[in-house]
Structure 1
Amino acid sequence: MNRRPRILVLNQYYKPGVEATANLLAELCEALAQEFEITVVTGRLNPYPDLPSDEMVDGVRVIRTRSTAFDRTKLHLRAVNYATYLADSVLRSLTLPRPDAVVTLTDPPMIGDVGLAVARRFRVPLMVVSEDVFPEIAVELKRLENPVLIRMLREMVSLYLRRADQVVAIGETMRLRLQEKGASADRIAVIENWVDTRRIVPRSRDTAWAREHDLVDRFVVMHSGNIGHANDLVTLIRAATFLRDLPDLRLVVIGFGALQTVVRDVADRLEVDVAFLPYQPRDILPESLSSADIHYVGLARGLSGFVVPSRAYGIMAAGRPMLVSADEDSETVRIARAQRCGVVVPPGRPELVAGAIRDAYEGRFDLDEMGRRGRAYVEREADREVAVARYRDVLARLVPSSSAR
């Protein structure tokens, strides 16, 4: 062939969105654009109403649908965003030149069904990258309780998982969850999410960013990422009530999400002093992440394998240890234990979180060595170049049979 194989990618979020998956997808597409002709059909972003409908961004063609971009903290408005994106993504995809493969992520969870329809229309392979498992995550969080709707959504997700030519899970526990939903074991590859270890590197705790936010000479416990139902941040806030005798302890919560108001209200009600900060610019992340002594990575009970906190990779890249509050079979606990790069406690136990923070504060853990071990792990297993090479291998197996037609 005289052209690069065409890959059509479908996901509601893409950069400049602040979502982790938006930026991970952009990094992956930009790297793959060296070998493939990549087109991404994505949705509108609330903070960026004037982005072009069709443009080239760092070697990737980005097409933005006529979808709504309402406040996602309200469930019914998020549903409208989903519906408008799904409808227009079908129309946009079918008017594009024939791709050689279709790739979808899982935001919204039903986009895999759109991908399946488009792939079958063009008679090309479908690859689904599962960033979370739906509707089980919503059911576990009691965000979805209507049995008819749950059954319908399970069928919709199971349909594309059973028929996809390739499914990518971002962890071993998730691989098992996807098999339970009907994905064939021989068509599932496990590729962890990643971090650019050249961009996020360990820095001194005494940075300009730390001085600006009065964090120097304090013991800093940080959460940096989405403030959602899955992250169990209320447990961290409640844990702080056991630590009022530590005058230089500082809790820092960076990010935004559906539970931000709830978490703030809990902190106010319990009279816990928390520094709430917005998402930080990507070029600031090495400084902000490095300003913490230890990072809290919470995952609500019952969610292991349904979602994997990708912020753990940035923490490890910055050379900082993790305090993981999650079920034993979660991917993050597995990494923390196997690599000895963090402390693990069960989810939903604020007294145990407080005990681990106190132990860290009093020097019972070698936090610097934990950070070094985490850094070594992501350099070896979860660096951007490592993940991109694994995706290239998977796509190379899918594309030739399609592009030869």
Structure 2
Amino acid sequence: MRIAVFSQYHTNPDCPATSRHYTLLQHIARRHEVTLITTNTWERQRLTRQYPWLPEGVQMLAADIPYHNRMGVAARGWAFVKYMGYAWRQGLRIPKPDVIWGISTPLSAAWVAGQVARQRRVPWVFEVQDLWPTFPIEMGVVRNRLAQQQLYAAERRLYEQARHIVTLSPGMTDYVRQLGFAEAKISTILNGTDLDQAARATPDAVAALRQEHGLQGRPVVLYAGTFGRANDIPTLVRAAEMLYRQRPEVVWLFMGHGYDEPLLREAATRCPAIRLVPPQPRHAVFTWLAAADVSVVSFINKPVLDTNSPAKFYDSLAVGTPVVVTNPGWTKDFVQEHRCGWYVPAEQPQPLAEQVATVLSNPAETRAAGQRGQAVARQLFDRQQLAARMQLILEQAAG
């Protein structure tokens, strides 16, 4: 079977990114012919060379289109438009696929997948990684009311046209269902994690990392991910400063890059508790997470962010590190049901500092929460199993 994949961003485990589709494509390409239409945005950001850039069996067509987190609205929009034009041309040139897999974000990548599917008269599957256009609208990026209405109308048409819809969280599934689409048309396939890479975070590797960075015997709080506008980094900084006054031995590690990096660098100069860690390749992130006592998964207080499916959530639990989440969506329900973490309302530094202090003051319960999280991660988050489900959906969509 021929599968055409429209995804604006391709990464592999050498990149400081989640690399979900690397694992899924690797699995699917063992059985089917896969053509990936993407960009080379992340290829130049590889930090190591431990993995092939493409899984075996995947053919790639990649446009040279720069993109980064600090881009303004106009620059991002132009990057989206350029990818649409490139993907449309390539989608019409490749041998006719049996099914098309369109992946947002951005919504424009899924839109062009749908257009090529219509022109070539083949079914397509719409994977929703984030709720667009709801996310940019709630973030204040799209303010014009008419533009908002047009984007929502385009989103709905994509849901209608797709043979099947895949979401990355129960919250996203609820959103699509509430628009009136049948249960049978929607599947939730969690972001998940790579358990083989998580297994590299051995006790010896963790001990070596702690010794190398002077963390022996010190409680560690870790935020691992993008320092974006949506990630509520200012609240984490204030919480770290509050806790430092009571527990100066606690270290807050911020690993990543993005919009709020200057704020973090300035905070680190005035607060000894705050340390910045350079972006790490995905395969190395697990050892850092395992070295932490608790991981923070934070977002600002926007309803659309309650539906998120953040990689740091899955990766933390996979290595037995419990999590503090800050949004009242499905992740809150999950950590409370499985007793593998705690919830603190978004944008409230004092309760966050207090919760972290409580967690660090009860090491036995913290370890138990981590063990419960690791058990459920092995059961529900394995990307090899999720890839098999995605393959089945594509096969069924193709008939």
TM-score, normalising length: structure 1 = 0.89
**1:65/1:88 contact within 8 Å kept:** yes
Structure 1 pair 141–259 and aligned structure 2 pair: CA distance change class (3 A): farther
What secondary structure, in the 3-state scheme, does the structure 2 residue paired with 1:198 have? helix
2:286 aligned residue: 286
Structure 1 pair 181–285 and aligned structure 2 pair: CA distance change class (3 A): same
What secondary structure, in the 3-state scheme, does the structure 2 residue paired with 1:189 have? strand
Query: For 2:320 and 2:173, how far apart are their aligned partners in 1?
Result: 28
Distance apart, 1:41 and its partner CA: 0.4
Give per-residue Cα distances to partners, 1:327-356, cap 9 Å, x unaligned.
2xx222122111110011111111110111
Amino acid at match of 2:122: V
1:27 aligned residue: 23
Give per-residue Cα distances to partners, 1:356-397, cap 9 Å, x unaligned.
111012117611111111111111111112211211221221
2:254 aligned residue: 253
Query: For 1:32 and 1:121, how far apart are their aligned partners in 2?
Result: 25
Query: For 1:240 and 1:48, how far apart are their aligned partners in 2?
Result: 33
Query: For 2:284 and 2:54, how far apart are their aligned partners in 1?
Result: 26
**2:268/2:276 contact within 8 Å kept:** no
2:7 matched to 1:7? no
1:231 aligned residue: 231
Give per-residue Cα distances to partners, 1:38-91, cap 9 Å, x unaligned.
1110012166299xxxx964221111024x204441222222211111111111
**1:137/1:306 contact within 8 Å kept:** no
Amino acid at match of 1:125: P
2:374 aligned residue: 375
**2:128/2:166 contact within 8 Å kept:** yes
2:39 aligned residue: 43
Amino acid at match of 1:232: D
1:69 aligned residue: 66
Of residues 158, 170, 173 in structure 1, which corresponds to 2:171?
173
What secondary structure, in the 3-state scheme, does the structure 2 residue paired with 1:242 have? helix
Distance apart, 1:268 and its partner CA: 5.6
Amino acid at match of 2:32: F
Query: For 1:128 and 1:145, how far apart are their aligned partners in 2?
Result: 26
Structure 1 pair 49–274 and aligned structure 2 pair: CA distance change class (3 A): closer
Distance apart, 1:325 and its partner CA: 1.3
1:141 aligned residue: 139
Q: Which runs of 5+ in 2 are unaligned?
A: 47-52
Q: Which moved more, 1:180-189 or 1:27-36?
A: 180-189
Structure 1 pair 323–351 and aligned structure 2 pair: CA distance change class (3 A): same
What secondary structure, in the 3-state scheme, does the structure 2 residue paired with 1:199 have? helix
Amino acid at match of 2:252: L
Of residues 170, 188, 191 in structure 2, which corresponds to 1:190?
188
2:213 matched to 1:213? yes
**1:119/1:125 contact within 8 Å kept:** yes
Structure 1 pair 303–49 and aligned structure 2 pair: CA distance change class (3 A): closer
**1:238/1:270 contact within 8 Å kept:** no
Percent identity over paired residues: 25
Q: Which runs of 5+ in 1 are unaligned?
A: 401-405
Once superposed, which parts of structure 1, at least 4 consecutive aligned residues long, lie more than 6 Å away?
A: none
**2:83/2:109 contact within 8 Å kept:** no
Give per-residue Cα distances to partners, 1:128-147, cap 9 Å, x unaligned.
11110012112222233232
1:403 aligned residue: none
Amino acid at match of 1:310: A
Distance apart, 1:199 and its partner CA: 1.8
Amino acid at match of 1:159: R
Structure 1 pair 182–261 and aligned structure 2 pair: CA distance change class (3 A): farther
Of residues 85, 97, 107 in structure 2, which corresponds to 1:87?
85
**2:190/2:386 contact within 8 Å kept:** yes
Query: For 2:178 and 2:264, how far apart are their aligned partners in 1?
Result: 33
1:356 aligned residue: 355
What secondary structure, in the 3-state scheme, does the structure 2 residue paired with 1:105 have? strand
Q: Which moved more, 1:115-124 or 1:224-233?
A: 224-233
**2:268/2:275 contact within 8 Å kept:** no
Structure 1 pair 20–157 and aligned structure 2 pair: CA distance change class (3 A): farther
What secondary structure, in the 3-state scheme, does the structure 1 residue paired with 2:196 have? coil
What secondary structure, in the 3-state scheme, does the structure 1 residue paired with 2:398 have? helix
Distance apart, 1:255 and its partner CA: 0.9
1:324 aligned residue: 325
**1:109/1:134 contact within 8 Å kept:** yes
Amino acid at match of 1:11: S
Q: Which moved more, 1:357-366 or 1:213-222?
A: 357-366
Give per-residue Cα distances to partners, 1:212-258, cap 9 Å, x unaligned.
22222111000111221222222111112221221210000111223
**2:173/2:186 contact within 8 Å kept:** yes
1:119 aligned residue: 117
What secondary structure, in the 3-state scheme, does the structure 2 residue paired with 1:394 have? helix
Structure 1 pair 269–245 and aligned structure 2 pair: CA distance change class (3 A): same
Structure 1 pair 313–346 and aligned structure 2 pair: CA distance change class (3 A): same
- State how many pairs are aligned: 387
Query: For 2:179 and 2:212, how far apart are their aligned partners in 1?
Result: 48
Amino acid at match of 2:152: R
What secondary structure, in the 3-state scheme, does the structure 2 residue paired with 1:218 have? coil
Query: For 1:113 and 1:323, how far apart are their aligned partners in 2?
Result: 35
Query: For 1:154 and 1:115, how far apart are their aligned partners in 2?
Result: 17
